[in-house]
Structure 1
Amino acid sequence: MEDIFISDLAQPEHGQAVLDLLNEYANGDTGSGGDLPEYTQQNLIGELRKRDNLHVILAFINDSPAGLLIAIDSFSTFSCKPLLNIHDVIVSAGFRGQGLAGRMLAKAEMLAVSRGCGKLTLEVLEGNVTAQKVYRACGFEGYALDPAMGRALFWQKVLPDSLG
């Protein structure tokens, strides 16, 4: 039996499922090559629970954690509407190839529509061709305001742990 739902991180089994799935992802080909840092493992669930603008979707199959989607409320200035940014999509190795990512994305889309969002956004690693195929099948595409200027790129700047 499959169950895809908005998690309640006050339930310890939901929090443990999030950590287990994130650690599996971190250890995989598209992850960082090792478990989440100890600080993250000790504090992540508490930090996620503090944020009203964050949504954690879990998928369980036969009572086993199978998938995770984390999305964050944001805002589009051009459309003057809220948007939902999908930050993480993870399907556990034993459940891949069964369409689970697409069903979790559909759940996120239902959430976005219910919140009045004008669009969903996400980022994907250039080399993660499998995920790109799933996202395209679900209606996602590269973002460009003007094709002559090219597609948007997702950049980051890592900040120091302490600004003091």
Structure 2
Amino acid sequence: MAAAFSIRLADYADAADAAAIVQVLDAYASDPAGGAEPLSDFAKTHLVAELGARPHAFSILAFDGAQAVGLVNCIEGFSTFRCKPLVNVHDVAVMASHRGRGIAEAMLREAERIARERGAVKMTLEVLSGNEPAMRLYQRIGYAGYQLDPAMGTAQFMQKWLD
């Protein structure tokens, strides 16, 4: 039987929540699925204040008792085609010790609830093609590749660093 865990919206002004966000995101960044490099000292110091300064950002935390074990960071965007908000799931992180227990799914369901409250028309996320457990989860709960016209194919996530 899986251990009980709790899920809730993070409070960026709360020092314990701020520490939990940095701790879980740093563990994720250090994992191969997150790039295998810990967060920079700058990110560790400024991340939560910068999230808090953005009214369209919100984070979901998961706890096993008092221990932070999961994090979902979301940033609201805008769908021009539908003229409504959308929510991009920017990070989904579960501590290695707690994977496979339904924590990511529970956090994503809470993120979806909040997105619906905000009037969002859709949620988006990106995932590495080699992260098969995450791919299976996302597909199982309704995420699919983005396409407008099948003849044009599916969208590809791209990036260009500016710093």
Coarse TM-score class (shorter-chain normalised): over 0.9
What letter corresponds to residue 135 of structure 2 in structure 1? Answer: Q
Q: Which of 107, 131, 134 pairs up with 2:134? A: 131
Aligned residue for 1:50? 53
Q: Give aligned pairs, total.
A: 160
SS of the residue corresponding to residue 113 of structure 2 reads helix
Contact 1:105 1:138 in 2 (8 A): no
2:12 equivalent to 1:6: no
- The normalised TM-score by structure 2 is 0.95
SS of the residue corresponding to residue 30 of structure 1 reads helix
Aligned residue for 2:20? 17
Structure 1: where are the runs of 5+ without partners?
none
CA distance in 2: counterparts of 1:30 and 1:140, whole angstroms? 19
2:98 equivalent to 1:87: no
Deviation at 1:34, TM superposition (A): 2.3
SS of the residue corresponding to residue 77 of structure 2 reads strand
Structure 1 stretches of at least 4 aligned residues deviating more than 6 Å after TM superposition = none
SS of the residue corresponding to residue 104 of structure 2 reads helix
What letter corresponds to residue 57 of structure 2 in structure 1? Answer: L
Identity %: 43
Aligned residue for 1:38? 41
Cα RMSD of the aligned pairs, angstroms, is: 1.0
Deviation at 1:77, TM superposition (A): 1.1
Aligned residue for 1:115? 118
Aligned residue for 1:26? 29
Structure 2: where are the runs of 5+ without partners?
none
SS of the residue corresponding to residue 71 of structure 2 reads strand
